[in-house]
Structure 1
């Protein structure tokens, strides 16, 4: 009997302890009902905590006196749930709506905007996302005070002229330094010609067009010395900092971004038809005392092989309605330690001038990994291939839109002259390489634009790799060390 009483005495604390704990299970989901893996479930006021599994399910043992569970997950608003007498508790977490301080990227890191003393303009990537542009620099026009962006002409892939607070030097380049994810890059026109007989005549190639605008998160334009001092003399004309997109906390997402559009020259000037042209030209000869005589002077109508009067609208032979389209697919996401962003893009554009095209194929990979609370590593990799065909020579080398250039020939060419001879050959004077005069007795001295377009040999192609790897080490609160190795390889 004594042994039985002793046994009951020893078992009583164990039975009391078992009676004071209970098992609580449940499932953690988001506002859409999707399970959340890795959510932390804690008994308030204790160190008892578990993490939900891949299906969002959790199970924990809590003391009988426990009253509240705290459920938390990165990117979601934490929730406190009363336990009561429930043994099954399901929780739905909502997206966290937090007010964050606006930060600005500068040469040596990021700062809160209110702490910035230099002159910095920030442009969100969303501001240009729906703008159908070939290159991101074209979309900066009018979006930042003190920044001028001018397109020299309508030829595709022509680099714009960017000026930050005007011209900074008489002899040196006034193009701002462009830094992409911490790596200074090439800028300007790097076009080369595949015409072995050319003498410097090239198709344009804007090197900044190699960057897919859909991959850009934000722009920061550093305008004064205080903001751009870390880059030294290279920043004398300002600095354009570009930050590309990264994965955001949550499940993996696949996004498609695309647009389609048309390019057409608008507000074209009205020109004379053949009869009006001949009448006006002969009237001018008469007014200066040298009327047309039918042998050495004068302008006359002529007929084609079909017996109809030749009346050429040169606009139809030079200009077109160009079809353009761009497509980007990206995969992004992040866990508590690793973020990733992968994208693939394709752009195909036709200009308003015939035989003017631009194509770009690009791919990007951005990865960041938090090794520990103090160390973060990552890297970015971009490859792009772009090809441009452009009637850059016009009728005078490198002057497609000058007075005698291809873009303006419809305003000066005679409408009573055909682009082709009756036998189908180009209507040209071999000696001067100019268009045939037809029935006109006065030299025209302009090149046949149809021949220019058909025989266009000017193109530029570039393969580019832009990559960097970095390590960020937090030495102590308020001070970190960051090292970056980058490469910008261009084969043009």
Structure 2
């Protein structure tokens, strides 16, 4: 009897649930009557949802408390339809005005996206503003079709390999022309030292409104042969009518080496090297375990700990924007400080930008932009930059070729490090000190090189432009613009006379 009552109760519950739901269906089309595939159909406030099929049809079970159907599709205005007594809902969706009316910058002015016939890719500034990088070009990889961006190494602020439509010339640069607010700017590595200095790092990514990449013949409409590798047009943010808007953005992060090779310890090194010496017919042993005076453990140096580090980076951006019927303004200040994974590899940038637009009348408009950037780049000889692949003093290499059986420093009888230059374990033949070993134990001692050598590249850059525009007729205007991009770079190199690249020259210093 109890089982019968339980079955009846379950049946009644199922019936009540079924009576509380209904199935709605219909077809979704565009303004031309074409079926839209993949339109998301949901009932807000419930878990009910589905998508239209290849014929634009949908079928959805909705609970009794559902009051609205919501239709959403990329490139079309989201639409809501109130649920009534009927169960069939045929919906016509309209193209999104923001999509078809989006203004894209091209070589000869601006156009609405729907009117463009050329090959143009657009990246919004908001998509890259919060990403941790020194320059915007490093952030474009995978964000635009036909654009290939690769970082060749981990040196902070090293220019990436930037290609639009591949390599276009054997003897000319394949780097695209970069234009900021109508003014062509510098590209490439401005440094003449081991500290990389990407020219495009002078622009704060937080100041970018949009990036338009011209990939076909329209790129040469104004810029001629300079556009043979494509054109990257950057539009910085402008003020909009309304109350002053204050915005602060910041990020912080850590940088460290990944997939670091596991090196032999001191005992393994001695065993293997002595075995190799014996196989070569040399008298053995030639390599020995050693200790530091006053300490009971063997020397077992992990050289990567003296070259690599966990770097801390942080970025701050503060902006003010607003405007009236006549004047719009945008003011920004930014500061970034980034530490690379190699000790001594640092990048800092301080920048400011002011954009103004003013309507003299209903047909005449004037405006301008002024940006200033001061950046400092520091870096050791890493062996990673172009032309330095075989540098014996490359820090990235020294971390893995020095023997673990010698210490980077020298000590007195009490185990205290000796003062000054005497405290570095270096030999008179400009090699890493051997200790009591009979054979070479490495090339250079990276600690003295990282401590005493200096490579820096400092940049001061001013970017400015002023324009005047006269609207002769509706949709017909004349615009003239004058711009400057002035950059001053100071490169400093100092090599100590005791060890490394400067030892054979009794030291070296240059300021260019």
TM-score (norm 2): 0.71
Return the alpha-carbon distance in structure 2 between the equivalents of residues 304 and 162 of structure 1: 50
Shift of 1:185: 0.5
Matching residue within 452, 457, 470 for 2:454: 457
Q: Is the 8 A contact 2:106 2:218 kept in 1?
A: no
Could you tell me which runs of 5 or more consecutive residues in structure 1 were left unpaired when the two chains were aligned.
Answer: 1-96, 193-200
Return the alpha-carbon distance in structure 2 between the equivalents of residues 238 and 225 of structure 1: 9
Is 1:258 the counterpart of 2:246? The answer is no
Return the alpha-carbon distance in structure 1 between the equivalents of residues 157 and 431 of structure 2: 28
Q: Is the 8 A contact 1:400 1:407 kept in 2?
A: no
Alignment of 1:24-423 (within 5 A): 99=98, 101-192=101-192, 201-286=193-278, 288-294=279-285, 298-307=286-295, 308-392=297-381, 394=383, 399=388, 405-423=394-412
Identify if the C-alpha distance between structure 1 residues 123 and 212 changes in structure 2 by more than 3 Å, giving closer, same or farther.
same
Shift of 1:404: 6.6
Q: Is the 8 A contact 1:118 1:227 kept in 2?
A: no
Shift of 1:299: 1.8
Partner of 1:458: helix, strand, or coil?
Answer: strand
Q: Deviations for 1:285-314, whole angstroms, at most 9, x for unmatched residues?
A: 33x3425424xxx22211112332110011
Is 1:481 the counterpart of 2:478? The answer is yes
Partner of 2:454: helix, strand, or coil?
Answer: coil
Return the alpha-carbon distance in structure 1 between the equivalents of residues 374 and 487 of structure 2: 10
Identify if the C-alpha distance between structure 1 residues 350 and 289 changes in structure 2 by more than 3 Å, giving closer, same or farther.
closer
Shift of 1:141: 1.3
Q: Which has the higher contact order (CA 8 A, sep 6+)?
A: 1
Is 1:427 the counterpart of 2:425? The answer is yes
Q: Name the counterpart of 1:441.
A: 438
Return the alpha-carbon distance in structure 1 between the equivalents of residues 242 and 391 of structure 2: 54
Q: Is the 8 A contact 2:309 2:341 kept in 1?
A: yes
Q: Is the 8 A contact 1:162 1:175 kept in 2?
A: yes
Identify if the C-alpha distance between structure 1 residues 395 and 322 changes in structure 2 by more than 3 Å, giving closer, same or farther.
closer
Return the alpha-carbon distance in structure 2 between the equivalents of residues 180 and 487 of structure 1: 11
Return the alpha-carbon distance in structure 1 between the equivalents of residues 306 and 283 of structure 2: 30
Return the alpha-carbon distance in structure 2 between the equivalents of residues 133 and 337 of structure 1: 36
Shift of 1:227: 3.6
Return the alpha-carbon distance in structure 2 between the equivalents of residues 119 and 440 of structure 1: 65
Shift of 1:377: 0.7
Return the alpha-carbon distance in structure 1 between the equivalents of residues 478 and 147 of structure 2: 32
Shift of 1:119: 1.1
Return the alpha-carbon distance in structure 1 between the equivalents of residues 384 and 212 of structure 2: 41
Shift of 1:439: 3.1
Identify if the C-alpha distance between structure 1 residues 128 and 402 changes in structure 2 by more than 3 Å, giving closer, same or farther.
farther
Return the alpha-carbon distance in structure 2 between the equivalents of residues 403 and 118 of structure 1: 49
Shift of 1:426: 1.2
TM-score (norm 1): 0.74
Return the alpha-carbon distance in structure 2 between the equivalents of residues 323 and 340 of structure 1: 34
Q: Is the 8 A contact 1:180 1:242 kept in 2?
A: yes
When structure 1 is superposed on structure 2, of 420-429 and 125-134 the one drifting more is: 420-429
Identify if the C-alpha distance between structure 1 residues 397 and 489 changes in structure 2 by more than 3 Å, giving closer, same or farther.
closer
Partner of 1:219: helix, strand, or coil?
Answer: strand
Shift of 1:457: 1.3
For this pair of structures, how many residues does the alignment match?
A: 383
The CA RMSD over aligned residues, in Å, is 2.1
Q: Deviations for 1:424-478, whole angstroms, at most 9, x for unmatched residues?
A: 32111222x2211223322245111111110121111011100000011112233
Q: Is the 8 A contact 1:121 1:145 kept in 2?
A: yes
Return the alpha-carbon distance in structure 1 between the equivalents of residues 363 and 390 of structure 2: 57
Return the alpha-carbon distance in structure 1 between the equivalents of residues 390 and 476 of structure 2: 54
Could you tell me which runs of 5 or more consecutive residues in structure 2 were left unpaired when the two chains were aligned.
Answer: 1-95, 413-417, 490-512
Q: Name the counterpart of 2:508.
A: none
